[in-house]
Amino acid sequence: MKLLRRLVPHPILTLLLTIAWVLLTSTWTLNSLVFGFLLGIGIPFLTQPYWPNQMRMKKPLKIAAYILLVLYDIIVANVVVARIVVFKPNSKRSPAWVAVPLDLRTPEAITVLAGTITMTPGTVSADVSAEGHALLVHCLDASDPDAVRDSIKQRYERRLMEIFE
Amino acid sequence: MNMIFEYLIAGFLIMSGVFGFVGSFGLLKLNDPMSRLHAPTKATTLGVGGVLLASMVHGLTVEGSVSLHELMITLFLFLTAPVTALFIAKVHLHRHETKDSLPTPADDSSWATHTVIEPQPQQD
């Protein structure tokens, strides 16, 4: 069992790499499946020193709901940001830095949250605090920075808490 | 029937063109470096997303084959775009911001970019 853990340190990553390789080659043959599986074994094994802890998820099925929510938000926010860019004069726009205190502690969950913040237009995550307890977010147009902070915590962080912790 | 799909494909392409244009326009119009960073994140989401949707609909209806490469492109974009945006933001933090020009993090002393880790003395 211990040997298996050392040979396959990240089973989920192994599965994802195999699926990714089969999708990339776009041929449904045993060849690509076997080669994908070899990559799925080799890459996690070689990168093991950089990712020592195994990732744990409490409710992996909620990821699908989270992805749909983020896609919906991206579409809505794109339109909002496009209107700001085209119609709002620079003098009336108020860019702001916002510090978002984090309740999440899992490194993978914080990474997903930072990525989500960057991909939803209007906000970009710029930095994490020294001990990893806060995110620095830049807003394109925020007259009320506190509202941005609360919406990030309410909408994304709470859901990631359910998935990861 | 084919006509409807062609209009749908054209609609997706126009949408992606519009958002790509707005993204590039924002790069010129916005007046501070951090705000300019917001423009490319928009171009990669709906701009590229529109082209990929059009390509998927085209593959399904006109060519009659399911292509999953578009899903992979979306996945790789969503994995890599935040990383490049973070690198550019980090450079900005290093060169143009100081500890005092940023809001203070809740519990911690400072942001990671401005934290100086004292080198540990070598133990003999």
With respect to residue B107, please indicate whether it lies within any of the assigned structural domains.
no
A-B contacts (CB, under 8 Å): 131
Mean pLDDT of chain A: 84
With respect to residue B121, please indicate whether it lies within any of the assigned structural domains.
no
Percent of chain B clearing pLDDT 70 (strictly above): 88
Contact yes or no for A78 and B71 at CB 8 A = no
Structure tokens at A42: 């080799």
Report d(CA B49, CA B18) in Å as an integer.
12
Residue B118 has pLDDT above 70, yes or no: no
**Shortest CA distance from B20: residue in chain A:** A82
Counted domains in chain B:
1
**For residue B10, what are the domain limits?**
2-97
With respect to residue B114, please indicate whether it lies within any of the assigned structural domains.
no
* A91 touches B: beta carbon within 8 Å: no
With respect to residue B32, please indicate whether it lies within any of the assigned structural domains.
yes
- Sorted by where each begins, the domain ranges of chain A are 2-50, 62-164
Residue B119 has pLDDT above 70, yes or no: no
B36–chain A nearest CA distance, Å? 9
The model's pTM: 0.83
B11–chain A nearest CA distance, Å? 15
The per-residue pLDDT for A12 is 82
**Secondary structure (DSSP) of B50-95:** HHHHHHHHHIIIII-----HHHHHHHHHHHHHHHHHHHHHHHHHHH
Structure tokens at A126: 């710029």
With respect to residue B83, please indicate whether it lies within any of the assigned structural domains.
yes
Report d(CA A58, CA A39) in Å as an integer.
27
* A72 touches B: beta carbon within 8 Å: no
Tell me the pLDDT band of A79, cut-offs 50, 70 and 90.
Answer: confident
Among A74, A123, A124, pick the best mutation site for testing chain B contact (most B Cβ within 10 A). Answer: A124
The per-residue pLDDT for A90 is 82
A14 with A40: CB under 8 angstroms?
yes
For the domain covering A62-164, report its CATH number. 3.30.70
Contact yes or no for A131 and B107 at CB 8 A = yes
